[in-house]
Chain A
Amino acid sequence: MSDEDRFDRALERLLADHSPRAEAAELSGEERDMLRMAQLIRGTRDQRPREEFVEGLHRRLFPRSRRVSRRAAFLSGIGALAAGLAGGLGLDQALRPAQSASSPPPTGWTAEIVDPQRGKWFHVANVADVPEGAIMPFTAGAVSGFLMNTKGTIVARSRMCTHLGCALDFHHTGQKLVCPCHGAEFNLQGDMLPNYPTQLASLPEVWHRVNGERIEVFGA
């Protein structure tokens, strides 16, 4: 294999989001610098970690934990640069550091997440089933909740009342979740409405992911 082929192959590896390290070791010094230049350019794209990766690393680091790292709700950092370029912006506009660089800091433990220790992913719906504004019940084994599409973002939230665990009903008219047992009510963000005498915890989120067309929920 000629050097040029090797260099081209390193670039293709990089463009496929794979490590070009094996190829790099075989390159000339000049080519290694060129490869690093390509890596830097590519590095200005979306840099957020995959949810699966964060979950996996969390499990590896804290195998006994019952908590789950709640991922930071970063504002759309998705390929801000690339999107700018695709949108026909001039280069200097497109390459300005994306706003996402100053997105709000992650929020620690503001809400718990339902995180089965012996869970698996359940296919609960397809993206097309949950259009914007929709609310749809799901069951993922022992975990049940509602999928909600708020302005294009899908959230999966437990439907178990945090009082005594009855399954909440969705009330269309009031856009709220109501407990059939004692009447506690929650808004769609999972926070308790002030109609109930005791302060109840918010409804936890449930791990979910969009896998192609499939919406999957981590249940047990």
Chain B
Amino acid sequence: MLDATAQAMAGRLRSSVGEPPDLEQIFARYVDPVHRFIYSRVGNREDAEDLTSEVFLKATRMLDSERSEASVAKWLFTVARTVLADHWRKYYRTGTSVPLDDARLGDMPESAPEPGPTEASTKLVEEVLTKLPERYRNVLERRFLLGYSIQETADELGISGDNVKVIQHRALAKAVQIVEYDK
């Protein structure tokens, strides 16, 4: 009797868990969203590829075959977040009061690819850029969104290259301040 109940419960549990996830399928599904999430934080392909690889190498070693797909997605992003945190700690020696940490960036996507993994950082960048003086914004947009060189930025804005460097420096410092004060 007891056995029958236990078996029935086990059966119910299994059916709610569903099929064990297929790692390759998970990779195919989540490599894009995980890469996009990491890229939105590191802003360069080299780091994004290194860290995305790390996430999936860890995942294939550690994945518990009993997880459902929904929880695998959530877990993958938890791994991604840990990998990012290690990266900042190792190379940026960030302490506890970092203005740009993930806490400030808010949500981590719970299920990918919706909601978009990059929404939080896009929103933050939008806010910050809007609050900057126009001449600061002009330089940051051209340099970091459009990828202009110092000279191209200078030519288009009619200022000197040295001036672009100075403004870019001040603008980034100001942007960090804005994030800090808004915290």
B 148-169 to A, binary, CB cutoff 8 A, 1 in contact else 0: 0000000000000000010011
Which residues on the A side are within 8 Å of B49 (C-beta)? 49-50, 53
Is A163 among interface residues, defined by CB-CB distance under 8 A? no
Q: Which of A43, A58, A101 touches B116 (beta carbons < 8 Å)?
A: A101
Cβ-defined contact, A61 with B57, below 8 A = yes
Q: For the complex, would chain A's binding face be called helix, strand, loop or mixed by DSSP majority?
A: helix
- Give CA–CA (A20, B46) in the complex, Å: 9
Cβ-defined contact, B113 with A18, below 8 A = no
Cβ-defined contact, B39 with A43, below 8 A = yes
Q: Which of B10-18, B75-83, B87-95 contacts A (4 or more CB under 8 A)?
A: B87-95
Which residues on the A side are within 8 Å of B175 (C-beta)? 34, 37, 41
- Give CA–CA (A22, B87) in the complex, Å: 12
Query: Chain A nearest CB: distance from B183 CB in Å?
Result: 13
Is B6 among interface residues, defined by CB-CB distance under 8 A? no
Interface size in chain A (residues, C-beta < 8 A): 68
Cβ-defined contact, B44 with A14, below 8 A = yes
Cβ-defined contact, B25 with A109, below 8 A = yes
Cβ-defined contact, B42 with A43, below 8 A = yes
Which residues on the A side are within 8 Å of B60 (C-beta)? 61
Is B143 among interface residues, defined by CB-CB distance under 8 A? yes
Which residues on the B side are within 8 Å of A81 (C-beta)? 122, 145
Known: A91-B141, A106-B32. A19 touches B47 (CB 8 A): yes
Cβ-defined contact, A47 with B39, below 8 A = yes
Which residues on the A side are within 8 Å of B98 (C-beta)? 33
Task: Give chain A interface residues in 56-99, CB to chain B under 8 Å.
Answer: 57-58, 60-62, 65, 67, 69-72, 74, 77, 81-82, 85-86, 91-92, 95-98
Cβ-defined contact, A48 with B32, below 8 A = yes
Given contacts A40-B40, A57-B56, A108-B29, 12 further A-B contacts (CB under 8 A): A21-B87, A30-B173, A33-B176, A39-B42, A39-B44, A42-B43, A43-B40, A44-B145, A60-B53, A61-B56, A101-B119, A106-B28
Chain A residues in the interface with B (C-beta under 8 A): 4, 7-8, 11, 13-15, 17-22, 24-25, 29-30, 32-45, 47-50, 53-54, 57-58, 60-62, 65, 67, 69-72, 74, 77, 81-82, 85-86, 91-92, 95-98, 100-103, 105-106, 108-109
